[in-house]
Copies of this chain bind each other. A is one copy, B any other.
Amino acid sequence: MRVSELAQTGGVTAETVRHYTREGLLQPHRDPRNGYQLYDAESLGRLRFIDCLRSLGVSLPEIKQILSWADQGTAEFIEPVPLATQRGRLYLRAQEFQVIARWIDNMNQDKMTESFSLKELIESLGSRKSDVEINDKRGHH
């Protein structure tokens, strides 16, 4: 398999595949005649695995680490910690999103029946100090 084929099958662009390869997440062997990168069937699995973890917001270095566990004979069997952790992250993020969505809903109910003044909204944000600080900042993701 060459880049484009792997990319298409995996549902990403060839550039993305090349990027993962540059970062060492995929290790194709090279056709010595032309220098083309050739990927085997396992690469497709790895690509899908990477893609899945990426969609969870796992960073490339982290994914690389997880993949190395799979590669090393030492970790033929590992505990499901990494994925479980990610699943936990997911649920947390989903909840966070819903909280924010509900906050906006409240804002809507307070100030807007069928239309609202954005100016008023912004001004109210400038004064509602305590409300905001109760919710606190946890930084964005």
A binding-site residues for B, Cβ under 8 Å: 9, 11-12, 41-46, 48-49, 52, 54-56, 66-67, 69-70, 75-80, 83-84, 86-87, 90-91, 93-95, 97-98, 100-101, 104-105, 107-108, 112, 115-119, 121-127, 129, 132-133, 137, 140
Contacts of A100 in B (CB 8 A): 52, 55-56, 90
Contacts of A90 in B (CB 8 A): 97-98, 100-101, 104
Q: Is the CB of B87 within 8 A of A122?
A: no
* Copies of the protein in its oligomer: 2
Q: Is the CB of B42 within 8 A of A126?
A: yes
Instruction: Compute how far the CA of A78 lies from the CA of B90 in the bound complex, rounded to whole angstroms.
Output: 34
